[in-house]
Chain A
Amino acid sequence: MLSDISREVRKDILYQIFSAQSGHPGGALSVADILVSIYFELINEGDKVILSKGHASAALYAVLAEKGLFPKEELASFRKLGSRLQGHPALHKVPGIDAPSGSLGQGLSIANGIALSFKLDKKDNVVYCILGDGEINEGQVWEAAMSSAHYHLNNVIAFLDYNKLQIDGSNDEVMTIAPVADKFSSFGWFVQAIDGHNFDEIILAVKNARAQDKPSMIIANTIKGKGVSFMENKASWHGTAPNEEEYKLALDELENGGGL
């Protein structure tokens, strides 16, 4: 069951961030179900995945370890000196990472380039690109959004992890992105809005996306800190590590299905 995997992934996200006493729990927990759906249900041989919101690296590492691409014990080294598990994903270190990310706003351009290479090589593969809602404040995202449509890159399937919060507060307080669906539609994208914690909706949206002749944006309505009641919908948990008490409380909630 994908939900069982997600629970393990969430526990591993918190384990990494607690061990490091550093990291980004809020956005990692909000994007976890999307990554689990991609890696455990949707991905085909040769497809690429770009976590453009690279600060959610703990979620990506948890999923890759769960997939068996590297030993789970290594998660303890997250963000520590000498670790392959860098604060933001690095290329050529961890197996399964297709692009470097961390400086926000760059992933969609990279996805377009990979998608163009697939087209040149007449491959049916797709590129998944996961963007944060704060991330799309970056102008390069909109340059890339123009390019995806211009080159008819229907093999680009983007997710917006729309948890409505960024570091300094809500999207509306920091920089309004609404109406985000209209923005991508007007740029020539096929846009769907779903519940980003509902596996059936995620999988169906990707199925729909694959039938289009244009790039797809799946606006995944999510909850920042999803699965840990005291972290949910709190911008303050964007980049804060839990202390021991909070960590135990969070694990207890996850093991008992809290919030899920």
Chain B
Amino acid sequence: MKATRESYGEELAVLGEKYPDIVVLDADLAGATKTSLFKKKFPDRFFDMGIAEQDLIGTAAGLAIGGKIPFASTFAVFASGRAYDQVRNTVCYGNLNVKICATHAGLTVGEDGATHQALEDISLMRSLPNMSVFSPCDDLQTRWILNEIVNHDGPAYVRLARPKLPDVYAEGTEFVWGKGIQHGNGTDAAIITTGVCVVEALKAQRDLIGMGINVRVIDIHTIKPLDKDIIIKAAQETKRIITLEDHSIIGGLGSAVCEVLCESYPAFVTRLGVNDTFGESGNWANLLEKYHLNRRRSKSRNLEITVIYCFSNT
């Protein structure tokens, strides 16, 4: 069990040894984003910009122009929202080598409530030209993404979560940039998901088998560039597509899947996520349940019920 933000902090400190050009910037949240681990090891290459996210991204852009590989971190809501214009007009328009590693994304920030819950960041970041967008689900995948983006010249946004998560992948698993990962070959439905919801989808998959429903789960760790083939194949081979994300259903993974299918293989898609509303305070487990992002059968619109409904409705 490890939070993806912890994996980020640990791996960044490892990468710092191998890549002397890596510099890290934070906006007074180094303890929470775990960039503090890099700071401790490489104090001369760590810059705290204070509570000033616009300056954080702008300074990172300047360091990239100066030939460094800047990793800029703060909470996802601030990195994607407060500094949106800096990300758009400086980092992306300039195609600068800035890595934005944003933590506490989605409802996972929990008790801090709606002001701190980024439910629009996938939407905001994936619409920017030159930007690559990643959403890892566990420790190994997070480390892999960091090793990929450090060698890729261009902007990247990595969506990281607050709570500890179980390992989905075993050591030695091969990941490929822009390629989703399919779990099972079920044809009754496909649950296309990302980040913290992958583990919930896999739990639902196991439970559904007991009910005679065989679904496949597709983990989209690279939201942009999106693996269109795996999505189209799922639409061709299964009866229903369900998307599941800790994000607004507007503009996120669900929308991205719909964009692909509308153009290539029209299919019914049920988007599960936060339904055009703000979040609220509460612990992560309770929020998952309230916003129907987990597999528990406590409400009428949870994942399993949705799958059964979609299945029986075909």
Contact = CB atoms under 8 A, between A and B. Distances in A.
Interface of A: 48, 90-92, 98-100, 102-103, 105-106, 108-118, 120-121, 127, 139-140, 143-144, 146-147, 150-151
A109 to B, nearest CB: 3
B63 A114 contact: yes
A207 to B, nearest CB: 24
Contact of A117 (B57, B62, B94): B62
B52 A114 contact: no
14 contacts: A48-B65, A92-B94, A106-B85, A106-B86, A109-B58, A110-B62, A110-B90, A113-B58, A127-B62, A139-B54, A140-B55, A144-B58, A147-B50, A151-B47
B79 interface: no
Given A92-B95, A120-B45, A146 B52 contact: yes
A90 B90 CA distance: 9
Contact of B55 (A91, A92, A103, A144): A144
Nearest to B68: A117
A90 B89 CA distance: 10
A141 to B, nearest CB: 9
B65 A99 contact: yes
Classify the secondary structure of A's interface with B. Answer: helix
A113 B63 contact: yes
Classify the secondary structure of B's interface with A. Answer: helix
B90 A106 contact: yes
Contacts, number: 111
B204 interface: no
A98 B49 CA distance: 22
A118 B93 contact: no
B119 to A, nearest CB: 25
A104 to B, nearest CB: 10
A91 to B, nearest CB: 4
A114 B65 contact: yes
A112 B47 CA distance: 11
B66 interface: yes
Nearest to A115: B62
B59 interface: yes
A109 B93 contact: no
Given A99-B90, A109-B57, A147-B59, 16 more contacts: A98-B65, A103-B85, A106-B54, A108-B58, A110-B58, A113-B59, A113-B63, A113-B70, A117-B63, A117-B67, A120-B66, A140-B58, A144-B59, A146-B55, A147-B55, A150-B50
Contacts of B52: 140, 143, 146-147
B64 interface: yes
Given A90-B93, A102-B89, A140-B55, A114 B66 contact: yes
Contacts of A108: 58
B102 interface: no
Contacts of B57: 109
A156 B54 CA distance: 19
B61 A113 contact: yes
A99 B94 contact: yes
Contact of A120 (B23, B50, B93): B23
Interface in B34-64: 44-45, 47, 49-50, 52, 54-55, 57-64
Contacts of A140: 52, 54-55, 58, 86
Nearest to A151: B47
B62 A114 contact: yes
A116 B50 contact: no
Contacts of A115: 62
B153 to A, nearest CB: 12
A113 B54 contact: no
Contacts of A127: 62
A103 B89 contact: yes
Nearest to A107: B58
A253 B57 CA distance: 44
Of B45, B59, B64, B89, most buried by chain A (CB within 10 Å of CB) is: B59
Contact of A113 (B45, B64, B95): B64
A18 to B, nearest CB: 27
Contacts of B94: 90-92, 99-100
A110 B47 contact: no
B215 to A, nearest CB: 45
A120 B20 CA distance: 10
Contacts of A146: 50, 52, 55
A257 B13 CA distance: 61
